[in-house]
Amino acid sequence: MQGKHNIYNIRRVRICGSYIITGGKKLEGEISASGSKNASLPILAASILNNGITKLYNVPNIHDTKVMIEILRNLGCKVKRVRDKIVIDSREVKKYEIPEELMRKMRSSVILAGALIGRFKNATFCCPGGCDIGARPIDLHLKAFENLGINITKNTGYIHCTCDTIVGEKIHLDFPSVGATQNAMLVAVLAKGTTIISNAAMEPEIVDLQNFLNKMGAKITGAGTKEITIKGVEKLNNTGYKVMPDRIEAGTLLCAVATTGGKVRLNKVVPEHLTPVLEKLKECGCEIEEEKDAVILQAPKKLKAVDIKTMPYPGFPTDMQAIFVSLLCTAKGTSIITENIFENRYKYTNELKRMGAKIMVEGRTAIIKGTRKLNKAVVEATDLRGGAALILAALNASGKTEVNNIEYILRGYENLDQKLNALGAKITKEVR
């Protein structure tokens, strides 16, 4: 371990502010999705594995990618950003400890542990922060590390991981955790021998990480299925890679249009990644056309209620749960939502109720009785997707709604206000 805790001079990337949204405008037009947040974060972290230079394209310029870049710089990487291109020079990394202040800012910081262990066989970090949507332990990550022969000790809130050699092994995940699958992949890339991860997460972001690592010289197969095989290689090479489109942002934009009864052509998406979301939108009454890298949506006059159960991919994504709850607040009929991934992901519903939504939450279930109209209110974002859900509700409400705490929304959405305004919304941002 190097240096003492809490002595880092870290530039804060924090904006406090509000969106003022005048509701009742029908959204129409053509926009594009940004690069994926959840693919960019592990890929940025994975760049550390290469003792060289990595160029990444289509990385969204959002709070979470800024924090990841801050951590990479703090560890010794040189990082340059020109619009959506990021160049990372990781030849000078000399520190294996992730500062507590940065670690607590974002859940995805935990993925850096796998990259540091993979390259240096050494990492020190504390439990990560992130949105408050449940306990979010990291036991599955640590169990996967231990399977690969990593020694783990815990001391004054810090977790220290070291080993002499990383030897490929079989890893069975009790639950297909996205982060644990990614962390295990990163540790195994430069290991001796072959690692097989069973009950792996199958999310498209895992496939994107595999594609990036393979372009850098790794030998990984099976991402997108339940079993991933990683044949250890001795060394990686410099590469360039374009990150996949953001399927959750895409789903949010489609739902925003649907809730206003509008029409949109959404470009730069992978329609296949959106299947569970598009199927539910069709059930709600939307007409949907898919092209190679675009989706066209025409909303009905009145949406219909639907029931949803969140599941690991290819099931309905938990990250779209709040967005759909918002949409269903004014749908015809009663919807039942079951949240199966995170145990505390309905906090935002109290804010929707302030706008007149009829939602009853019991444990993991939310029952939504569609109402004719939502009212303006002053509301607070409580987490990233819950914050986006409030924007959708405001687009559909009468009068001017003020959404506060937008720093949660800025964590994960690139220019959401500008994209919606380009479709005819009336959103102004007030930064304090």
DSSP-assigned letter for residue 175? S
Residue 188 interacting with ligand UD1 (CB under 6 A): no
Strands (DSSP E) contained in 144-298 are 151-155, 158-162, 170-172, 194-198, 219-221, 227-231, 239-242, 263-267, 287-290, 294-298
Strand 400-404, strand 378-380: pairing = parallel
Residue 51 CB, nearest approach to ligand UD1 (Å): 25
Residue 332 CB, nearest approach to ligand UD1 (Å): 29
Q: Which is nearer to ligand UD1, 38 or 252 (CB)?
A: 38
Residue 38 interacting with ligand UD1 (CB under 6 A): yes
Is residue 210 within 8 Å of residue 223, measured between CB atoms?
Answer: yes
Q: Which is nearer to ligand UD1, 18 or 182 (CB)?
A: 182
Q: Which is nearer to ligand UD1, 117 or 427 (CB)?
A: 117
Is residue 293 within 8 Å of residue 269, measured between CB atoms?
Answer: yes
Q: Which is nearer to ligand UD1, 18 or 34 (CB)?
A: 34
Q: Which of 175, 225, 365, 399 binds ligand UD1 (CB under 6 A)?
A: 175
Is residue 402 within 8 Å of residue 373, measured between CB atoms?
Answer: no
User: How far is Cα of residue 64 from the mean position of the Cα atoms in its chain?
Assistant: 9
Q: Which of 34, 54, 109, 318 binds ligand UD1 (CB under 6 A)?
A: 318
Is residue 30 within 8 Å of residue 241, measured between CB atoms?
Answer: no
With CA atoms as reference, report the closest residue to 299 among 334, 333, 337, 327: 327
Q: Which is nearer to ligand UD1, 80 or 170 (CB)?
A: 170
Q: How many residues bind ligand UD1 (CB under 6 A)?
A: 23
Q: Which of 138, 266, 397, 427 binds ligand UD1 (CB under 6 A)?
A: 138
131 is annotated as an active-site residue: yes
Residue 201 CB, nearest approach to ligand UD1 (Å): 6
Cα separation, 84 vs 13, in Å, equals 18
- Candidate ranges 175-183, 226-234, 264-272, 348-356; the one touching ligand UD1 (CB under 6 A): 175-183
Residue 41 CB, nearest approach to ligand UD1 (Å): 5
Residue 383 interacting with ligand UD1 (CB under 6 A): no
Residue with structure tokens 């109209």? 373
Cα separation, 188 vs 46, in Å, equals 12
Residues 104-133 that bind ligand UD1 (CB under 6 A): 107-108
Residue 139 interacting with ligand UD1 (CB under 6 A): yes
Residue 41 interacting with ligand UD1 (CB under 6 A): yes
Angle separating helix axes 247-259 and 275-283, nearest 10 degrees: 10
Q: Which is nearer to ligand UD1, 82 or 135 (CB)?
A: 135
List the catalytic residue out of 126, 131, 163, 286.
131
Cα separation, 383 vs 403, in Å, equals 12
Residue 342 interacting with ligand UD1 (CB under 6 A): yes
Is residue 151 within 8 Å of residue 166, measured between CB atoms?
Answer: no
> Looking only at Cα atoms, what is the longest distance across the chain?
64
Residue nearest to ligand UD1 (CB): 179
Helix (H) or strand (E) holding 192: none
Residue 376 interacting with ligand UD1 (CB under 6 A): no
Instruction: Break the chain down into helix, strand, coil percent, rounded to 5.
Output: 35, 30, 40
Cα separation, 301 vs 294, in Å, equals 23
Q: Which of 59, 75, 113, 180 binds ligand UD1 (CB under 6 A)?
A: 180
Q: Which is nearer to ligand UD1, 47 or 108 (CB)?
A: 108
Cα separation, 31 vs 112, in Å, equals 33
Residue 137 CB, nearest approach to ligand UD1 (Å): 4
Q: Which is nearer to ligand UD1, 338 or 398 (CB)?
A: 338
Cα separation, 134 vs 131, in Å, equals 8
Reading the block at residue 201, the tokens are 């997460």
Residue 346 interacting with ligand UD1 (CB under 6 A): no
Residue 177 interacting with ligand UD1 (CB under 6 A): yes
Residues 192-251 that bind ligand UD1 (CB under 6 A): 201, 205
Catalogue the active-site residues.
131
Q: Which residues bind ligand UD1 (CB under 6 A)?
A: 38, 41, 107-108, 134-141, 175, 177-180, 201, 205, 318-319, 341-342
